[in-house]
Structure 1
Amino acid sequence: MAARKDLDGSASVPAFYGKELRWKREAVGLTLQQTVDGSFYGVSYLSEIERAQRRMPVDLARHVDRVLRTDGFFERRCEDVRKAKKAFHAPYFADAVDMETRARDIEEWCPMLIPGPLQLEPYIRKIIHAFNPLDDEEVVDGKVAARRDRAWVFEDADGPASWVVFHESVLRQPLVDDDAMAEQLAHVAAVARRRRFIPQILPCNAGAHPFMMGSAFLMSFSDAPPVMYTEGMYSGQIVDDPGTVVQYQQAYNRLRAAALPPEVSLKMIEAAAEDYGNGNHARRIERNHLA
């Protein structure tokens, strides 16, 4: 049997944390399975924390501290690990990004913007400049790269099963010039055509509907309870109370019922991309201004 590769604890804060976790666990003679017994998490998840490939959730850290009798050490260090990772993501989004990597299913409602993992560079830059106009180009470049790194969520065959409901205004109100908007929407449609996610469009005339107050990002897992993430311009929140998550899930089901069927929605996205590409959208806006 090949010797196990020892993790270099000096490489990063997560590496130090993972190495210490494994050392403490082995020092008391517990297996990975024995350590996670009684928690909502699986062996593979704890193993990935020990290898610095996952962040330790606070509830699991508390569980580990109890099992290993480490006097709250791992719970106290969770924040250090969180700050050390995802430097170009907003701090309030770091936990959601981490959860995204192990989600089995993702359901998203997008009232104003195309989801981050589907955004192309011109679209991303326009959003960053609008939300954070004082960011220098180095920071903007880092944020663009961080967002494009999440493209796997929708584009990888092994990514989570995903369902996205867009408001029609996402198609009708361009954030970038017509050529860039055409490319952006064509990309969204192409990813959907490869069966990487299921799109639905909520039409502008849908009337009252769930989530009129904001976005929603529901994630379910094989080894943990489901959660919901919601975000404002400069803040975000993970909701993990089981009863509240169920309410959000039911609301999302009603939202899907109010939206157009997936195939109709996909054709709308493709038609909008074509409109931007051949100039029809600009001519339509000009006619409306003259009317």
Structure 2
Amino acid sequence: MANGSRQAAWEFFGTELKRRREDAGITQVELGARVFVSGGYIGQFEQAIRKPQLDVAQRIDETLQTDGFFERLWRKLIKEQRFADYFAHTAELERLATSIYEWAPAVVPGLLQTREYARAIYLSHNPLATDEWIDDMVNLRLDRAKILNDATRPLYWVVLHETALRVPVGSPDVMAKQLDHLAEMVRSRTALMQVLPFSAGAHPHMGKLMLLHEFEDAPPTVYTEGVNSGNLLDDPATVKVARGAYDLLRADALSRKASLDMIEATAEGYRACAGTT
């Protein structure tokens, strides 16, 4: 199920909840009291702003006597959700964007990761995860990157901090192949890429991943991410400030040619460490 279809399905969930609640002659406050949430939460469920927990969906079925309808719909939507809640809408917008501008302060961004690099990232964050789970997450990340191979691919401009090149993720061989992949993306004119070198010093957005999306017929957005959290904003003033910060990053970064030279030289260094020169 596509992300846009999934959001429409959650809106259907909310519309049906409102219809069946009103048919039963129950207010939001009354339903909330019966399922152990506030009336305000019921209103947010109905507007598809928030998603109920499974036990709440089950209690809604019991209260409204809907024969498991909301539980079944909940299970289908949660099972088919491909991304974390805080990133799902951004992933949807990514597929609609005409331009994507990304600042990557620590690691190579998901759209540019190789399979081996992505696997090493997931293993570092989830050392006890099963191989099956890791493979599912890696495949999902690689699926995202397919937008860069589409005929209608967006303009993709990324600024990488030098940290993303220098801090090893996985083995030296994994890093060499990852940086080779970055270089190939540049040479094939699939992505515009610059590196912000250590010599540029500190920057206000040093630790904050930032994604800017532009669209043909909708306002631009900015997405920033923290630990298991993300913020997607479309307030024009906020997006303007974020775009200004991104422009400063580009101004302080190396030229595209110098960036490519650094990427290729760093890849050679990793190859020497791996003994594959």
Say whether the fold is shared (TM-score over 0.5).
Answer: yes
Q: Please give the TM-score of this superposition, normalised by the length of structure 2.
A: 0.72
Matches within 5 A, 1:18-167: 52=5, 55-56=7-8, 75-76=47-48, 79=51, 83=78, 85-87=80-82, 89-167=83-161
1:242 maps to which of 236, 251, 255: 236
* Worse-matched range after superposition: 77-86 or 271-280: 77-86
Residues 197/76 of structure 1: CA separation in 2 closer, same or farther (3 Å cut): same
1:182 and 2:184 aligned: no
Q: Is the 8 A contact 1:93 1:236 kept in 2?
A: yes
Matched, 1:172 2:163: no
User: 1:55 touches 1:82 (CA, 8 Å); kept in 2?
Assistant: no
Match of 2:252 among 240, 254, 258: 258
**More helix as a share of residues:** 2
Change in 2 beyond 3 A, CA 1:93/1:159: same
Q: Percent identity?
A: 41
How far residue 158 of structure 1 moved from its aligned partner, in angstroms, is 2.4
Q: TM-score, normalised by structure 1?
A: 0.68
Long gaps (5+) in structure 1: 1-11, 15-47, 66-70, 283-291
Q: How many residues align?
A: 225
Secondary structure of the equivalent of 1:225? coil
In structure 1, C-alpha distance between the alignment counterparts of 2:245 and 2:165, rounded to whole Å:
23
1:208 to 177, 202, 223: 202
* 1:229 maps to amino acid: Y
Deviations 1:36-55 (A, max 9, x none): xxxxxxxxxxxx95xx4x74
Unaligned runs of 5+ in 2: 16-21, 23-42, 52-73
Partner of 2:231, secondary structure, is strand
Q: Which amino acid aligns with 2:48?
A: R
Q: Matched residues in 2 for 1:244 and 1:147: separation?
A: 28
2-side partners of 1:55 and 1:220: how far apart?
21
CA RMSD of aligned residues (A): 3.1
